[in-house]
A and B are shown apart, each in its own frame.
Chain A
Amino acid sequence: MAYFLQQLINGLTLGAVYGLIAIGYTMVYGIIGMINFAHGEIYMIGAFICMIAFAVLGFMGIASVPMALLVVLLLAIILTAAYGWTVERIAYRPLRGSFRLAPLISAIGMSIFLQNYVQLLQGARVKAMEPVISGGFVLMRDGSFQVTLSYLQLMIMSVTVVLMAGFTTVIHRTPLGRAQRACEQDQKMAALSGIDVDRTISLTFVLGAGLAAVAGVMNTLYYGVIDFFIGFLVGLKAFTAAVLGGIGSLPGAMLGGLMIGLIEAFWAAYFDAAYKDVAAFSVLVLVLIFRPSGLLGRPKVEKV
């Protein structure tokens, strides 16, 4: 029981981060119908900005952890969002109205480009960082086994919950969210109603990148090591989460993220940790076979 509880905590932490990234995939798919394969790299850039920012802040002698954390988060969100905006502007927008595969191929190109760009600027070595937040609560003892919820895990989960709640509110209650959903459903009519479709699409990329930046910061703090290639696997998992939840569905992305995180954690704990990725991707295959629209996705056919 204690062991199970610990894995639950680990899985939820992992899943929270996947969920944040999955939102970026699902929103972009919802609005322009493409999979942004460079989104994992956007997350990776967020992680690098986090590491660089901490190094700079440390150098400047800023010792207050909450202060430093806030500055790093804001910096990462702003700069990563700028990357997200730029990628859309130069690699996808010119291809809008082109054949369906074109932006997809461009996205893969962008993904490879960004990996190489970071590799060139930052080097190929794995970079490590001192833990910034340590300690935690011991929730339960079972013989020698302790169930702990670290402060960092608590922070990751609470930041994720707050962001997701905020995000859901933005999408459902604000003019920006309405514009976003209008563009998802009918871009021609959205434009006829006065919505600037290009701007709305740009903002979707900016928001998705902002969330990925938060995920990047949190995973960097959690694992303490990053390299230029981390976006690939995490991006693929988050994409799987988005498909599992139902691509295009916001709550689906969150649910899918949590499920992938839990599956990974439990598989690693009870079976073989080496095959945890196989477990996660097997779920993708099963979902695609038995429920192609995902857990919370809309079926394709719609009465008009």
Chain B
Amino acid sequence: MTGAPLLALRQVETFYGPVRALSGVSLDVHEAEIVTLIGANGAGKSTLLMTICGNPQASSGSVSFEGRDITRMQTHAITRLGIAQSPEGRRIFARMTVMENLLIGTTPVGDAHVDEDLARVFDLFPILRDRTRQRGGTLSGGEQQMLAIARALMSRPRLLLLDEPSLGLAPIVVRRIFEVIGELNRNQGMTIFLVEQNAHHALALAHRAYVLANGEIVMEGEGRELLADERVRSAYLAGA
């Protein structure tokens, strides 16, 4: 990898009250890469994604995006720089329609390209097109996940953060979601930072990967390299 990274974390520490959730995390995500972060439950994966978005903010260290320090910026301002997240638990606005959820996603960029962007996300997830007037809360888990990703895409992000998009979904849906992640990257050059417990799928897809344990990065390497690594296999790919 050459050139300055799109996203760079340096020695990031994040606390929840007195509890240290991240300690000294440094990582890079370069333009047009898929980078994945794997780790066990409670390792701090979601905290790491939320720290990038400034909620909670890192108590020390720095987060920078396109060379600009965003460590102390407010969440909504960070999204305006081009970072979108499909967060843990999807967080669909349950009492709003699918269309309204998608329109909320356009907040950072305004509605100049709405039609074009809607067409784009409906191409990726055709099922959403039939559900536009349905309330978010009535969708199935897989549909909600698709909506969460589509909502994030509506802001035309330069960096897409995905938090466990495969969690709790049927294998066929999981496959479709990973396909879409791959397509986004290949066809549109979208930079994606993917947090997953489903290490097998994630590592197979990613250019590079990091392993997080107890709030620290313990390994890093190319996706396939980690997929073949004995320690990774025994810790995260048991039975795979």
Contact = CB atoms under 8 A, between A and B. Distances in A.
Contacts of B96: 178, 181-182, 185
A304 B94 contact: yes
Interface in B92-117: 93-96, 100, 103-105, 107-108, 111
A144 B80 CA distance: 69
Interface stretch (A11-19, A51-59, A188-196, A202-210): A188-196
Dominant SS among interface residues on chain A: helix
Given A185-B96, A193-B151, A194-B80, A179 B107 contact: yes
B51 to A, nearest CB: 13
Contacts of A191: 55, 74-76, 79
Contact of B107 (A175, A188, A302): A175
Contacts of B159: none
Given A182-B96, A195-B104, A175 B111 contact: yes
A195 B100 contact: no
Contacts of B94: 185, 302, 304
A181 B85 CA distance: 20
Contacts of A304: 94, 137
Please tell me the size bucket of the interface on B.
20 to 34
Contacts of B111: 175
Interface residues of A, number: 20
B76 A196 contact: yes
Contacts of B79: 191-194
Contact of A192 (B75, B103, B137): B75
A197 interface: yes
B191 interface: no
Given A175-B107, A178-B100, A188-B55, A193 B155 contact: yes
Given A188-B91, A189-B87, A189-B91, A182 B75 contact: no
A182 B111 CA distance: 17
A186 B136 CA distance: 13
B137 A303 contact: yes
Contact of A181 (B80, B91, B95): B95
Contacts of A196: 74, 76
A185 B111 CA distance: 22
B160 to A, nearest CB: 12
A186 B91 CA distance: 8
B48 to A, nearest CB: 15
Interface of B: 53, 55, 74-76, 79-80, 84-85, 87, 91, 93-96, 100, 103-105, 107-108, 111, 137, 151, 155
20 contacts: A175-B107, A178-B104, A179-B104, A179-B107, A182-B96, A185-B93, A185-B94, A188-B91, A191-B75, A191-B76, A192-B53, A192-B55, A192-B79, A192-B85, A194-B80, A194-B108, A194-B155, A195-B76, A195-B107, A196-B74
Interface of A: 175, 178-179, 181-182, 185-186, 188-197, 302-304
Q: Which 5 A-B pairs have the closest CB atoms?
A: A194-B108, A194-B107, A194-B79, A191-B75, A189-B91
Given A192-B85, A192-B87, A194-B155, 16 more contacts: A178-B100, A179-B104, A185-B93, A188-B91, A189-B91, A189-B93, A192-B53, A192-B84, A193-B155, A195-B76, A195-B107, A196-B74, A197-B76, A302-B94, A302-B137, A304-B94
